[in-house]
Amino acid sequence: MRKLSPLGRTGLKIPLILLSTAIAIPAVAQQNASTTAPKQALTSARTSVPGTIRPSVMRLIDEATAVYSKMSSYQHTAEVIQRNAQNAIESDHAYTLAIERPNKFVYKSDDASQGAAVCDGSYYVNYSGTDHTYTRSAAPPSLNDIDIVNGVNFDAVGTYLVALMIQNRPLADPQIRNAFEHAGAVVMETDNGVQYQTLTASLVPDAPPAVIYFNAKTHLIHKVVIRETNVKESTIEVLEDIHINQPIANTVFQFTPPKDAHWVI
């Protein structure tokens, strides 16, 4: 079952979401040290009402989804960094997301104790790091047949959004749809000389709102930032080492569950 579980007080386990595309992306350290230009709100014809998504937000989601859903292959590494009130790093994990149509898929962490969902085109293995169990079944015919909403444990929320858009189903998760229905206006922001359209939404339960950075030119997600109110604690997910429509090594789609894991039939 999908989880966007809290990590400490920030409420998110993974760092900012930096979308992996075939474009050059600055180093994380450079991003954190950059200055941000004044924000400019992109107004829409009307504000959102219950059960609807304001036009500017929906347009931003549609533009990004149109790009992701047309990719024949995609790969990124998401670095998720959590800092405490003293700005010291409390956790730093890397997550891999990769797809190759029609049905190759992988989402896994550099921490073997966490879960993984891997389809090599022939078999689909879904490992739960919580109870050390895994399932193994025949590969589904297409990526859209993988239930990432209910069947994959995502700790990196930015990466989760990318996966949904790759499937052309950005609003398939009721929790995400609700967050977008209550999202604020789209805001233009400049970071390291690059323009981004930012969207603030409460993507993770019991956590401060997340700020999602979409590259204004490519429409790809650049990063996701979650900061505690009035303190310096933060969780940032940055998507880097991005490859689009390029061959992906078969080894990327390989996964062996830990020896102490139990196979659930």
203/212 Cα distance (integer angstroms): 10
Nearest by Cα to 258 from 89, 76, 130, 78: 130
Residue type, 219: H
Report the Cα 106 to chain-centroid distance in Å: 13
| pLDDT value of position 6 | 37
Q: What is the pTM of this model?
A: 0.83
d(CA 55, CA 133): 43
Cβ-in-10-Å burial (0-12, 13-18, 19+) of 206 comes to exposed
CB-based contact 50:181 (threshold 8 Å): yes
Identify the bridge partners of residue 211 per DSSP, sorted by sequence position: 200, 225
Q: At what angle do helices 174-181 and 157-166 cross, to 10 degrees?
A: 100
Per-residue pLDDT of the chain (265 residues; tens, 9 = 90+): 344 443 332 233 333 333 333 323 233 333 333 333 444 444 333 344 557 999 999 999 999 999 999 999 999 999 999 999 888 999 999 999 999 999 999 999 998 778 999 999 999 999 998 899 999 999 999 999 999 999 999 999 999 999 999 999 999 999 999 999 999 999 999 999 999 999 999 998 888 999 999 999 999 999 999 988 777 789 999 999 999 999 999 999 999 999 999 999 8
**Among the residues of 34-109, which ranges form H helices?**
55-68
d(CA 186, CA 200): 8
Gyration radius from the chain CA atoms? 18
Residue ranges with strand state E in 87-233: 89-100, 104-109, 116-119, 123-128, 133-138, 186-191, 194-201, 210-215, 221-227
The highest-level CATH class for domain 36-259 is mainly beta
Phi, psi for 228 (deg, rounded to 5): -70, 145
The amino acid present at 170, given as its one-letter code, is P
Comparing CA positions, the residue from 3, 265, 2 lying closest to residue 135 is 265
Report the C-alpha gap between 115 and 148 in whole angstroms: 13
